[in-house]
Amino acid sequence: MTLLDRAEWYDIARATNWTPSYVSDAELFPDVMTGAQGVPAEKWESYDEPYKTSYPEYVRIQREKDAGAYSVKAALERNRMYETADPGWLSILKAHYGAIALGEYAAMSAEARMARFGRAPGMRNMATFGMLDENRHGQIQLYFPHEHCPKDRQFDWAHKAYHTNEWGAIAARHTFDDLFMARSATDIAVMLTFAFETGFTNMQFLGLAADAAETGDYTFASLISSIQTDESRHAQIGGPALQILIANGRKAEAQKLVDVAIARAWRLFALLTGISMDYYTPLEHRKQSFKEFMQEWIVGQFERSLIDLGLDLPWYWDQMINEFDYQHHAYHLGVWFWRPTVWWNPAAGMTPECRDWLEDKYPGWNDTFGKCWDVIIDNLLAGKPELTVPETLPIVCNMSQIPICAVPGKGWNVKDYPLDYKGRTYHFNSEIDRWVFQQDPVRYRDHLTAVDRFLAGHIQPPNLMGALQYMNLSPGEIGDDAHKYAWVEAYRNAPYSKKAA
């Protein structure tokens, strides 16, 4: 039997709108679930997804992708990657799996919402595949780290992290709940697929796959590449949805969704990707600084996507670009100092050569962040490790759920951005975080940060041990310096002197 080409039947097959007779259209597609913002159904029928596929094509390609990734894993199972990799690379893997694997299941629910409540038939069709994609990503990113669990309990956090009150897990949940678990189908198309996936994950996964190959972890490289090809397809759900919103007079609403999503995504990326690229990746394997990466992909490429769609740059664009210079350095210092509170071993990335590299990529680093590290190094050399761990909690941003931090030393610019709202004072990391809260205070007002919970008596006993228990961090899981402080020896009898420019 001769089969028609896909192009000859695709438009008819995915024209799945109908006129309901048992319930009203509004009951079948409630606004709260569709997020159609009053744009009528017939307008959504012009939605034209740029990437078209059929179910048989999808299954064939996905089967090949899975076969490829799983065969690489099987072939390399005896290559002793775990034993031979730099500890900093293992930390990247642990942080990645814990922060992402179960988030993929959340993304699957979000895709399912688009598949059911998307107002455009094409969106529903694309999201059906996206839902299957995200299910695969959840499974494969739980299966791959599982082989390391018998050797290292921190890998168990690939599954465990989201089930705990560990602060990073709270930050990830809060962001993902906001961007795609508690949103309508249209909001998800814009915030998850366009802003988060096109803007950040798709590009970040490209970089991560390259780093993995450079480091010699071909299993992870093939896994990430396999996921990234799915992302680059289903991330295209948002673009045509934005076009329809803008063409039907909803630009302001669309712009707000984009601005909120980019603001929130940026914080998580600064935390996960920023630290990984500039500190955990061994120096000899670094291709680009995080700032260079952000300049190339976010400023150079994503900015153009926004403009091409007819959107404006978010109002805070310049401020966000300014943060490329410092926010992830502050996050790194915080994660390393509060290292017992994370499920991986932070790599300091603080050899004299690393500091030269940081100074080269971020002029002034030694006079700012370097000043704090100088004190830490002095304490470690003097045999006072107790001064390199915390005795109190950092204040956590009521939006990002990440500690409020900025530039120390000579460029000291740390500041609280408070907001009084209905009798409660909220604290934010920046004007951007505070602005997000102000867009929908009712949505965010009742959430308690880790510090709010501590003050409310939820964490008992009220000390570091109580906090570790609250975060479900058990002995053998709590973080410590990835290289067991070996890097400190480079400074014994040889104080760091800044490399001449």
Partner 1 sequence: MALFPVISNFQYDFVLQLVPVDTDNTMDEVAAVAAHHSVGRRVAPQPDKVIRVRRQGDTDFFPRTAKLCETPIKPMETLEFIFAEE
- Which parts of this chain interact with partner 1 (CB under 8 A)? 330, 333-334, 337, 369, 371-372, 374-376, 379, 387-388, 390-395, 403-409, 412, 414-416, 418, 425, 427, 451, 454-455
Pick the closer one to partner 1 by CB: 153 or 458.
458
Name residues whose C-beta falls within 8 Å of residue 216's C-beta, 6 or more positions apart in sequence. Answer: 81, 85
Pick the closer one to partner 1 by CB: 457 or 475.
457
Pick the closer one to partner 1 by CB: 165 or 295.
165
Minimum CB distance to partner 1, residue 371 (Å): 7
Pick the closer one to partner 1 by CB: 158 or 405.
405
Answer yes or no: are the C-beta atoms of 332 and 466 closer than 8 Å.
no
Minimum CB distance to partner 1, residue 367 (Å): 11
Pick the closer one to partner 1 by CB: 354 or 451.
451
The one-letter code for the residue type at 146 is: H
DSSP H or E run through 435: helix 431-439
Instruction: Give 301-304 contacts, CB < 8 A, sequence gap 24+.
Output: 301/203, 302/198, 302/199, 302/203
Minimum CB distance to partner 1, residue 389 (Å): 9
Minimum CB distance to partner 1, residue 122 (Å): 47
CA dihedral 257, 260, 263, 264 (to 10 degrees): -100
The count of other CB atoms within 10 Å of the CB of residue 169 is 24
Minimum CB distance to partner 1, residue 340 (Å): 15
Pick the closer one to partner 1 by CB: 27 or 391.
391
CA distance 181 to 63: 28
Answer yes or no: are the C-beta atoms of 211 and 205 closer than 8 Å.
no
> Closest Cα to residue 244, out of 34, 485, 17?
34
CA dihedral 36, 188, 137, 444 (to 10 degrees): -140
Minimum CB distance to partner 1, residue 404 (Å): 5
CA distance 15 to 13: 6
Pick the closer one to partner 1 by CB: 201 or 366.
366
Pick the closer one to partner 1 by CB: 231 or 278.
278
The count of other CB atoms within 10 Å of the CB of residue 13 is 12
Answer yes or no: are the C-beta atoms of 472 and 165 closer than 8 Å.
yes
> Closest Cα to residue 150, out of 101, 221, 82, 90?
82
Pick the closer one to partner 1 by CB: 122 or 403.
403
Answer yes or no: are the C-beta atoms of 50 and 236 closer than 8 Å.
yes
Minimum CB distance to partner 1, residue 243 (Å): 42
**Inter-axis angle of helices 55-75 and 218-234, nearest 10:** 160
Mapped onto helix, strand or coil, the DSSP state of residue 428 is strand
Minimum CB distance to partner 1, residue 416 (Å): 4
Minimum CB distance to partner 1, residue 333 (Å): 6
Mapped onto helix, strand or coil, the DSSP state of residue 396 is strand
Name residues whose C-beta falls within 8 Å of residue 436's C-beta, 6 or more positions apart in sequence. Answer: 260, 263, 264, 399, 444
Minimum CB distance to partner 1, residue 330 (Å): 5
Pick the closer one to partner 1 by CB: 41 or 395.
395
